[in-house]
Each structure stands twice: as C-alpha cells, then as structure tokens.
Structure 1
Amino acid sequence: MHRLVLHAGRVEHSVISVAGSAKKRSSIVISVDLGRSLSEYLSDIGEVGYLPSKLTDNFYAMELDVQNEIEYRWKEFETILSLIPGLSFKDANAEDVAFLPGMDTLALLLKLDEIGKEKKYEYVQIHFPSSEKMLDFVMLPLNGEWFYQTTLPEIKNMLKLAKLVRSFIKMPDPDFMLSKINEYHSKLENIAKLVTDVDTTSARFDMDARYINAGKTTFASLSLFGINVDGVFTASDFDFASKRIIVKDFYDKPKDIEALGDIASELFEDPADIFRKTKLVKFDKNALEIQLDYINAPDMSVYQSKGQLAIKYKGLKRTIILPPHLRGKNVENAKISDGKFTVQFS
C-alpha cells in the first residue's frame, strides 16, 4: 500500500476520506467500530460485511468481525495459541478464542499484513471507535518487537532444554515453535515499521474544542509511540500542531460514493496527502530526541536497563531498544523544551 491512515472518531469522517481518495486510486476503509456501524451508514449504497465489498470501481469497505476472522485463520490462530506457555487450547474453537483479550487487535494486525501483501489497495484507512483503541493497535507490534528482542535468547535456551525433555513430555516440536515465533515476529516487525513510517502512515482523530486538553493528550500519546498525527477533524478552528479539518456537526446518510467524494474535496484536496510529516524519534552520538508536543515534564519519567530506555507518560510506557552506540552509556539527564523530549547519555 502507498498510504495508511489510522482514524479514530465518527465513521462518516473515515468514509468521506476514503471516498475522496477513491477518486484517484483503489481505496478501502476497514472498520473495527461495532458501535458506529459502517454497514449501516453505507446501507443505501451497498452491502458491507466482514470481507471487502466493492461499492464502486475504487471504493471498498469492510467491517472486521473478530470471530469470522479467527474462523478464517483458525489454523494460524491455533499455532499462535500453541506458542503460549502453560495454556492449552486443544478443544477451543473460534467463538471461545474471540473473547480473549487482544484478539481483536491481533486479528486486525493479521488482516493488515494480508492486505499489504495483496497490494490491491493503494490507500487503506482503518476506522477505530476511539483513540484508546488506536493506541492498542499501534502498541502491540511496537511492544511485540521489544519483547522479541529482549526475550529471544531466553526462548532459545528454553527450546534447547525442551528438546531434551520432549521424549518425556508431550509438546510441539521446539524447532517448529522457534520457526513460528520468528515468522510472527517478522509480521509484527513489518507492521511496526509500517505504522511508524512517516512517508506512508499518519493518524487522524476527531477533536472537540471543548475538550482540547484531551485532544492534546491523545496527540502526545500517539507521538510517544512514533505515530505521526497529521490532522484532526473538528467543527471549530483553533491553534493546533496538526492540520485542522473543519467538518460539519452532522452529515446526512449518503446516497452515493460520488457525493461523499465531493464532500472530501471541500475538506481537503486529497485525503492521501500527508499534512504534517515529522520524524518523531531521532538518535545522535550522545542523545535520543522525540518530538513530543503538549507534554509537560511532571507527566514524564525515564529509566534505563540493559540497553533499553523506558519512557512513561500518563499510564503509558514505551520501551525503546537503544542503538549499539548508546547501550554502554548511562542517562545523564532528560528534559522537555520547545516540544522536544531529549535524553542525554554520557
């Protein structure tokens, strides 16, 4: 895909954006919002289900159904679950597994990995019901990468031991388990690179001027995880670090995609444009710098351990694996100035 947009808020804003993009390229909206039904909003245009529905030549839509997605990939999910130590899912089915924590996020990650490999859509927009759900989505591959890097040596040692006791204990083949761990790590790594690639991916969310501090917290939280926020949908104008996309309080239920595309043309020239492109995380010889607008020093804490740097902000934690040239150094100080969070090493 050439462009990935993550959007949290009203479903019509996602649909309008994709309709605008569909004027120029193959585009799809994927909704994980069960409360604001994409299928209901588009019911006068066409049927939308858990598989991509083609509503015009370039406009596709789907609602991610976790249970159907797990049934579709049941063998793959069985393999993933078999890698979890101490848990047995021998008699489980897709309906049982769908309610496990994080399954909706995992299903979406696998779907995005599949869509990326298909190369059918140039513009992909994922619609989330809230910024919290969007954060869950971006945190899983980023934290998964950290978990893999920090635990792989221990996992390899455990699997070596498993080879010795396998003749006494019924368990999956250790070599098979390691190959699958590496395979799923590769998927997570690709998604992590995708969502933090400022040339491809950006996040947008709905923002109410009455709750501007909440919007600033969302902006800062996404920035902490390296997600470039390039726009906010709002009904009123105000100063903000990203583009303000001024929308109406309400849009009528659409009768055709072309009408939605016309609305998009009024809001922005092309939804696929990246309205703000900022490289959020930078390393130099003795420092780490993160672009973090709207964060105050008392909200932040930093600690270092074994070549890693953990940054905490309002209940969120991002752990960054330091590059080799910084791993032997210690944190000297950390400060926030002019929207930049800088950690100096010595």
Structure 2
Amino acid sequence: MTRLLLVAGSGGAGRTTVAAATGLAASRRGQRTLVLSVDASRDLSGVLGQVPPTLPEGRGLPVRIEDHLHLQELDIASELKRRWSEGRGEVAALLGGGLEGVTAEEVALTPGLEVLLALLLLGEYSRARTYDLIVIDAGDALRFVGGADAVGWYARRSRAPKQSARRVRPSRANPEVLHGVSDKLMDVGALLRAPTVTSVRWVTTHDHRTEQSLRRARATFGLQGVALDGVILNRLALVGEDAALARHPSVENLQHLVGSIPVTGVALQGRDIVGEEALEAFATLLYRGEDPARLGSTHPSLGVGKQAVDVYTLEVQLPFVRKEEVSLSRREAELVIQAGAFRRNVLLPRMVAPLATTGASLEGDRLVVEFKKERV
C-alpha cells in the first residue's frame, strides 16, 4: 500500500525544503517516491534545482528527477482540463452539474479546487500503487482531510432516501458520475485517517507563537483523526555543538509539550538549500540515517470500541482542549463534534448508528462518547 506523508506547518518554516529532502532521502533507499505540491509558487522545483515545464502538455505532470524520485507541482488549469469532459466529468459533477458548455478555464479559480484535484490524484496513485511513498507539501494538511469529509457528507446526503427538514439542493449532475467520484474521495479520506498509511510531519521555527500553533495543530489533527508522527524544529540558533541540539531548550520544551511524538531540532544552515547535494546533506540532519518514511506515532486518533452487547464507545484524541470548548450533536447516523473553532462530522459505523448517544466525558486528552440501545 502507498504510504502518504503530509508535510505541514507554518509558512516560512522550511516546509517545502523538508518535503523535498524527505522525498530524496526515501528514494535513495530504493522507495518509489513522489513529492507532490499544490503551491502555485513552484517552490518545489526551485528547491530541487529543476525548471518547471513551460509547454502546456507538460504542466502539472510528474517530472522524473532520478530513478526512484518524481516531483509533481499541481497545475489547476491543466489538471482540470484532463478531468472536465466538456462539463460532464467528475469535477463538474462535484461542482453541482449542469455545466455543459462551461469551459474548464471558467471554473479554474473556484476556491478549494486545488485540494479536490490533489485528492483525486492521491486516490489514483494509491489505487494503482504507482509509488511506495507520496510526500505532500501540504501547507494546511487539514484542508485535505476536511475536503474529503465535505465531499463525503454531500454524497451521503444526496443519496439519502429520506431527507431531513434541512434539504440539500438537488444536483443536476449525472448521479452515477457523482456517486462514483464521491466514493473515490471517501476512500481517500479513509486513507488519510489510517494511522498505518498516513501521518503528518509538522515543521516549525522557534518564536513566541510556536507552542500555541503546535497546541492548536495537535488538537485539530486529533479531532480529524490524523496521526502526527513527528515535529521538526527548523533553523535553530546553536548554543553548543550539533550533538547538543537534542538538549536545546526549545527542543526540550516542545518535546515536553507533545510527549512521545519525536521532536527533531535542525540548526540554521549557512547557505541556501538548493539542489540534490544540499538536500541530501539536510536530510542527514533530519533523519540521521533512519528511514524518512518511518511512522513515529502509529496510535489511532479516533476509534470505536465495543464495551458490551449494544454498548459502544467512540474515542477521539483532543489534547489541549477544555471541556467547555466541546459540544456534540447527532444527525441520524452522523455525530457532529465541535471543539473550539473546529468541527468534525463523524459517520458512525453501521452497528453504532441505530444506537442512542447516552453520554460523553473528557478524560484527560480523550473525548469518550457512549452509545447504547434504548430500552423500551
């Protein structure tokens, strides 16, 4: 199965450099690796010392760097043309249908379209097993997971034989096309939440907002059921020798904050990291000979367990969230969890959906929701 690694974090922290170095290091270990970026700035090509394709037919396609390494910078206009089918294709169906005669260029600026296209690509590559590892220069990793969730919600509501009072506007799209592409995206969403398949590596630098942003990231990743497998604290000012980085005060503070999740400190480099040689040296600092595709944290962030006959619990990891910030509501087979400013619609498994929600408690950093069969 294809391993997915989302490299996320604050802007300007070196996220693209970490993604490129990770992909290069994995490919040198014989893993068929793709580094995928959805950033229109084309920074990934620059970091790898490549010139982006200028001809229209080459834009947005994977570019071979060496035997086991490809890079791909998503080009929305080019990718949309490949999927548009004169307004009757998968993307048109997801946008609501009825777009025959509308050109791909006219919808290329639709907000969030780059995430939708990237999700479709990830699904294709995963099904075909084209690569062993896909490293995504993700920026806001939650947009990927949330995008798959939103499509899944829309698909479930559009299929429901009985609509609630809050009806979804009927789509003019071909139902078979809509449901087919929705199923694909729901499958991608499941992969993104599978802790043995997908994880997030958080890249940050040290400033007064570092701890706050990491707390927020851990809480939102936990709510979304995404595994955080490592934190990279980049561009540290050295206090002593390189060997002392693990004892750097900033590294120790973050390690205390995230517990068992490994924190790696990387010193500020004296030159720009561009090209394979510089990236390989940087990867050595990041991983010190270990497999860059390793899973540093594999525990599930969200799971359902059976406690007794017709009694189940749903457990969600919510570190750094206070009890008063959490609220729950039910919509038929969906449980809606609100934690601060973030929200998650959880589709309950078939054996849990008929049961009533009978209680919830916040136990440390775990939200535990109980479901029982109502007794007549």
Q: Quote the Cα distance in structure 1 between the aligned partners of 2:34 and 2:204.
A: 23
Deviation at 1:272, TM superposition (A): 0.5
Partner SS, residue 361 of structure 2: strand
- 8 A contact 2:33–2:131 mirrored in 1: yes
179, 202, 206: which one pairs with 2:199? Answer: 202
Mean Cα displacement is larger for which, 281-290 or 81-90?
A: 81-90
Residues 251 and 40 (structure 1), Cα distance of their counterparts in 2 relative to 1, 3 Å cut: farther
Deviation at 1:74, TM superposition (A): 2.2
Residues 86 and 314 (structure 1), Cα distance of their counterparts in 2 relative to 1, 3 Å cut: same
- Any gaps of 5 or more consecutive residues in structure 1? 157-170
Q: Quote the Cα distance in structure 1 between the aligned partners of 2:281 and 2:369.
A: 46
Quote the sequence identity (%). Answer: 24
Q: Quote the Cα distance in structure 1 between the aligned partners of 2:97 and 2:155.
A: 19
CA-to-aligned-CA distance 1:193-226 (integer Å, 9 cap, x gap)? 2111111110112234432112111121122111
Deviation at 1:255, TM superposition (A): 5.4
Which residue of 2 is the match for residue 164 of structure 1?
none
Q: Quote the Cα distance in structure 1 between the aligned partners of 2:159 and 2:266.
A: 48
Which residue of 2 is the match for residue 166 of structure 1?
none
27, 36, 42: which one pairs with 1:22? Answer: 27
- 8 A contact 1:11–1:36 mirrored in 2: no
Q: Quote the Cα distance in structure 2 between the aligned partners of 1:251 and 1:31.
A: 26
- 8 A contact 1:23–1:261 mirrored in 2: no
Q: Quote the Cα distance in structure 2 between the aligned partners of 1:256 and 1:86.
A: 43
The amino acid of 2:46's aligned partner reads E
Residues 96 and 226 (structure 1), Cα distance of their counterparts in 2 relative to 1, 3 Å cut: same
- TM-score using structure 1 length: 0.84
Whether 1:181 and 2:178 are equivalent positions in the alignment is yes
Mean Cα displacement is larger for which, 83-92 or 22-31?
A: 83-92
The amino acid of 1:313's aligned partner reads A
The amino acid of 2:313's aligned partner reads A
Whether 1:62 and 2:48 are equivalent positions in the alignment is no
- 8 A contact 2:87–2:102 mirrored in 1: no
CA RMSD in angstroms comes to 2.6
Residues 53 and 87 (structure 1), Cα distance of their counterparts in 2 relative to 1, 3 Å cut: closer
Which residue of 1 is the match for residue 106 of structure 2?
96
Partner SS, residue 221 of structure 1: helix
Deviation at 1:273, TM superposition (A): 0.2
Q: How many pairs does the alignment contain?
A: 325
Trace 1:214-229 onto structure 2 (pairs within 5 A): 214-229=213-228
Q: Quote the Cα distance in structure 1 between the aligned partners of 2:312 and 2:109.
A: 45
Mean Cα displacement is larger for which, 334-343 or 88-97?
A: 88-97
Mean Cα displacement is larger for which, 327-336 or 19-28?
A: 327-336
Deviation at 1:82, TM superposition (A): 5.0
The amino acid of 1:322's aligned partner reads L
Which residue of 2 is the match for residue 5 of structure 1?
5
221, 243, 267: which one pairs with 2:262? Answer: 243
Residues 38 and 295 (structure 1), Cα distance of their counterparts in 2 relative to 1, 3 Å cut: same
- 8 A contact 1:41–1:253 mirrored in 2: no
Trace 1:1-346 onto structure 2 (pairs within 5 A): 1-9=1-9, 10-24=15-29, 25-35=31-41, 37-43=43-49, 47=52, 50-75=60-85, 78-80=88-90, 83=93, 88-129=98-139, 131=140, 134-154=141-161, 177-209=174-206, 210-211=208-209, 212-235=211-234, 236-237=250-251, 238=254, 239=256, 240-241=258-259, 242-250=261-269, 252-254=271-273, 256-268=275-287, 269-284=290-305, 285-346=311-372
Deviation at 1:136, TM superposition (A): 1.5
Residues 155 and 39 (structure 1), Cα distance of their counterparts in 2 relative to 1, 3 Å cut: farther
The amino acid of 1:299's aligned partner reads E
Partner SS, residue 286 of structure 1: strand
Q: Quote the Cα distance in structure 1 between the aligned partners of 2:63 and 2:270.
A: 22
Deviation at 1:118, TM superposition (A): 3.4
Deviation at 1:62, TM superposition (A): 1.6
Residues 255 and 225 (structure 1), Cα distance of their counterparts in 2 relative to 1, 3 Å cut: closer
Deviation at 1:67, TM superposition (A): 0.9
- 8 A contact 1:70–1:77 mirrored in 2: no
- 8 A contact 2:302–2:317 mirrored in 1: yes
- TM-score using structure 2 length: 0.78
Mean Cα displacement is larger for which, 228-237 or 82-91?
A: 82-91
CA-to-aligned-CA distance 1:164-204 (integer Å, 9 cap, x gap)? xxxxxxx97x8xx2321231122112201211111111011
Q: Quote the Cα distance in structure 1 between the aligned partners of 2:199 and 2:92.
A: 34
Partner SS, residue 207 of structure 1: strand
The amino acid of 1:274's aligned partner reads L
Mean Cα displacement is larger for which, 75-84 or 214-223?
A: 75-84
- 8 A contact 2:223–2:318 mirrored in 1: yes
Partner SS, residue 283 of structure 1: strand
Deviation at 1:60, TM superposition (A): 1.2
Deviation at 1:81, TM superposition (A): 5.4
Residues 38 and 141 (structure 1), Cα distance of their counterparts in 2 relative to 1, 3 Å cut: same
Partner SS, residue 150 of structure 2: helix
Q: Quote the Cα distance in structure 2 between the aligned partners of 1:287 and 1:76.
A: 47
- Any gaps of 5 or more consecutive residues in structure 2? 10-14, 54-58, 164-170, 235-249, 306-310
